[in-house]
């Protein structure tokens, strides 16, 4: 029987070999954390390599994602569908072992990690999801949702402010099934962290309501075992286990230094490290007895079989709950969804009140939240302003998981990471609100939601200089076009209730990526539409107001500026000029339409084009060309009443008409 050190050394050797072959990567962290990994994955982690999507598996998150070869080694050795050829192709084009873990590429990877701090923050959402689902579906004698979330993280994760946001929230909510193992090796890319990271981390986490286990030797598996057992005994607090480790453990010349962090050891040092570890096997070779000791397929199969047996009895006793659990974990919408969506669209289209789209958004949620139990909402301390809490919602509170609304506090980034975790876990469609201008705080987490192809809905209000007196600190300018530039993000900026309903329906139905709903503070004029126009709302761009015959000029607009375009078209018509108004609430959806439809809306023969949007103007050049005009923002705003600001910056009927006439 191999020793535990030999089992951990298999991980070290695979990391050394893969990084050497790729001539790129991070060997130090995998070498330092190998004993921690051996303890957790062989002794405590509940998982089944044959079914990486088993609903009641534990979730493991490698927050310091540069240590990816540790995770790939674990997945390979325990029996996941990750071959030695995959290990050999570490960091190569098209491989299933990219430089940092990606949830869409590698079986067994739960979270895409790389930006430090996002792994632990996302794990908070995973742990929260488990608690919420358990409250809904567990019954006496049937703990169908009963798993844990485990995280490895390093110094860099704790230096990022995001981790403080998320971990403070986790402590407040008393997420007792969240355990983080801190790889405290004292080294980052630039060298010893003592010069730039000297806080009392254990005390900080204790102050945030965590159970903290100090001074564990992370290179002694038996000490890690004991710490993990102590973590399991505490159920009302998340646990931080502080593991002292040596980065690059086993490397004679580079252990304990930044030299092992982000570059291959080099052939000579790689050989010396293996010799020091007593690993005499050829590269990419793991002896059979070590493989057998690592293999988790039988244990995982038995664990899942026991759960499936329990679930079968649960299904017999509670058939409706069992069916609902299966539906939610599969990500499908209720059978009644088409009727729900159709009624919502019809009602909000027929309602011709002049309301802010943030109000229309709340009205939509008043319908959607009672109908879709998977919707779980929240805001970054702006609930009343962003309208994300419908009347039917119930607040989630510390240690109480019976609700569907989370007060995240002033933690935009942490909120977004938690929403990603809720979506990754399964069973939820998370949505969260803040002011559009503060989406800057969360931009990277929105990007990751797209990279992971997760259904996460952002409600971003106060969408322009229409914020008014709050001034340029609160007036978004570049935010809408910058969000549009993130691949895979659908950005909806509706102009009235009908378009807001369409945006919410599209966001709920879109299962392969995030959506941002950009909503106004100020009331917007409603528009009357034909049945054909209503059917085209979801296409992202459509003809809202047409003219007789071929248009001479196209007026493109979104959100609060659509009415300006409609009024300008009427003025142009009075002057004998033919103008078509195209509302484009979602350019991404419009781009997905076939060429014939796009040509029918924006005929290429009409070169006179004016785009109107109270945001940075350059983005619209893709539609109006260099010879078109954009009525947009080229500067920050000012502090003044909204009406005065729109006039000051050219958002008037007169200016739109003038710009159009100059093109004709």
Q: The tokens 């794990």 sit on which residue?
A: 123
User: CB-based contacts of 288: which residues, under 8 Å, 6+ apart?
Assistant: none
Strand-pair partners of 240: 180, 212
Tell me the Cα Rg of the chain. Answer: 27
How far is Cα 44 from Cα 37, in angstroms, rounded to an integer?
10
CB 187 within 8 A of CB 261: yes
End-to-end CA distance of the chain: 85
φ and ψ at residue 524, rounded to 5 degrees = -120, 145
User: CB-based contacts of 647: which residues, under 8 Å, 6+ apart?
Assistant: none
Q: Token pair of 416, please? A: 């977004």
Q: Token pair of 579, please? A: 């103008």
Buried b (16+ CB within 10 A) or exposed e, 80-104: bebeeebbbbbbeeebbbbbbbbbe
Q: Is residue 638 annotated as a catalytic residue, yes or no?
A: no
The one catalytic residue in 102, 374, 412, 561 is 412
Strand-pair partners of 492: 517
Q: What DSSP character marks residue 67?
A: G
Q: Token pair of 117, please? A: 């701090």
Positive or negative, the Cα torsion across 309, 311, 314, 319? negative
> Collapsing DSSP states into helix, strand and coil, what is residue 293?
helix
Alpha carbon of 102 to those of 11, 97, 113, 453: distances in Å?
20, 8, 7, 11
How far is Cα 19 from Cα 265, in angstroms, rounded to an integer?
8
User: CB-based contacts of 238: which residues, under 8 Å, 6+ apart?
Assistant: 127, 167, 170, 171, 174, 175, 176, 177, 178, 179, 180, 209, 210, 211
Alpha helices in 138-190 (DSSP H): 155-159, 161-173
How far is Cα 123 from Cα 62, in angstroms, rounded to an integer?
10
Buried b (16+ CB within 10 A) or exposed e, 415-448: bbbbbbbbbbbbbbbbbbbbbbbbbebbbbbbbb
How far is Cα 129 from Cα 56, in angstroms, rounded to an integer?
12
How far is Cα 332 from Cα 3, in angstroms, rounded to an integer?
46
Alpha carbon of 517 to those of 250, 362, 401, 507, 620: distances in Å?
51, 12, 27, 8, 19
User: CB-based contacts of 169: which residues, under 8 Å, 6+ apart?
Assistant: 124, 408, 409, 411, 414, 418
Q: The tokens 């949505």 sit on which residue?
A: 431
Report the catalytic residues. Answer: 412
């Amino acid at each position: 029987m191999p020793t535990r050190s030999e089992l951990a050394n298999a991980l070290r050797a695979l990391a050394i070999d893969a990084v050497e072959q790729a001539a790129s990567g991070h060997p130090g962290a995998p070498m330092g954390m190998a004993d921690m990994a051996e303890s957790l994955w062989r002794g405590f982690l509940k998982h089944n390599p044959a079914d990486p999507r088993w609903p009641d598996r534990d979730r493991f998150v490698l927050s310091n994602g540069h240590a990816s070869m540790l995770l790939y080694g674990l997945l390979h050795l325990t029996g996941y569908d990750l071959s030695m050829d995959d290990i050999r192709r570490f960091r190569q084009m098209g491989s299933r072992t990219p430089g940092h873990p990606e949830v869409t590429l590698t079986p067994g990877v739960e979270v895409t990690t790389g930006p430090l701090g996002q792994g632990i923050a996302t794990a908070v959402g995973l742990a929260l999801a488990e608690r919420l689902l358990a409250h809904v579906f567990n019954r006496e004698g049937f703990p169908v949702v009963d798993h844990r979330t485990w995280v490895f993280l390093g110094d860099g994760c704790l230096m990022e402010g995001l981790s403080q946001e998320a971990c403070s929230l986790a402590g407040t909510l008393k997420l007792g099934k969240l355990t983080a193992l801190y790889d405290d090796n004292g080294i980052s890319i630039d060298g010893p962290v003592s010069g730039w990271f000297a806080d009392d981390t254990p005390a900080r986490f204790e102050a945030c309501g965590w159970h903290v286990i100090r001074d564990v030797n992370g290179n002694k598996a038996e000490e890690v075992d004991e710490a993990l057992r102590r973590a399991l005994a505490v159920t009302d607090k998340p646990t931080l286990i502080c593991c002292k480790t040596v980065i690059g453990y086993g490397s004679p010349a580079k252990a304990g230094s930044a030299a092992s962090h982000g570059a291959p050891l080099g052939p000579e040092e790689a050989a010396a490290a293996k010799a020091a570890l007593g690993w005499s096997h050829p590269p990419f070779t793991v002896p059979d007895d070590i493989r057998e000791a690592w293999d988790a397929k039988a244990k995982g199969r038995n664990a899942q079989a026991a759960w499936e047996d329990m679930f079968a009895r649960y299904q017999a006793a509670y058939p409706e709950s069992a069916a609902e659990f299966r539906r939610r974990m599969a990500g499908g919408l209720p059978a009644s969804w088409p009727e729900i969506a159709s009624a919502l669209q019809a009602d909000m289209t027929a309602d011709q009140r002049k309301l802010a789209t943030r109000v229309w958004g709340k009205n939509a949620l008043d319908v959607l939240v009672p109908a879709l139990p998977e919707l779980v909402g929240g805001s970054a301390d702006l609930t009343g302003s962003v309208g994300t809490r419908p009347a039917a919602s119930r607040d989630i509170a510390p240690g109480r998981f019976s609700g569907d609304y989370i007060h995240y506090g002033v933690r935009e980034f942490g909120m977004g990471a938690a929403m990603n975790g809720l979506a990754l876990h399964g069973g939820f469609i998370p949505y969260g609100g803040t002011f559009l201008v503060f989406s800057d705080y969360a931009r990277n987490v929105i990007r990751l939601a797209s990279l992971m192809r997760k259904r996460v809905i952002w409600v971003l209000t106060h969408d322009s200089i229409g914020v008014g007196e709050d001034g340029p600190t609160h007036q978004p300018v570049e935010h809408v076009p910058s969000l549009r530039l993130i691949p895979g993000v659908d950005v909806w900026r509706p102009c009235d209730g009908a378009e807001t309903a369409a945006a919410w329906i599209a966001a709920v139905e879109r299962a392969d990526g995030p959506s941002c709903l950009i909503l106004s503070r100020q009331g917007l004029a409603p528009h009357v539409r034909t049945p054909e126009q209503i059917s085209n709302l979801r296409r992202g761009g459509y003809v809202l107001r047409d003219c007789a015959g071929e248009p001479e000029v196209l007026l493109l607009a979104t959100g609060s500026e659509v009415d300006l375009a409609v009024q300008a078209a009427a003025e142009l018509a009075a002057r004998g000029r033919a103008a078509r108004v195209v509302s484009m609430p979602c350019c991404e959806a419009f781009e997905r339409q076939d060429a014939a439809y796009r040509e029918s809306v924006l005929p290429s023969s009409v070169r006179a084009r004016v785009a109107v949007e109270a945001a940075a103007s350059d983005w619209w050049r893709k539609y109006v060309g260099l010879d078109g005009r954009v009525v947009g923002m080229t500067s920050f705003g000012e502090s003044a009443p909204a009406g005065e600001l729109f006039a000051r910056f050219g958002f008037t009927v007169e200016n739109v008409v003038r710009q159009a006439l100059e093109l004709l």
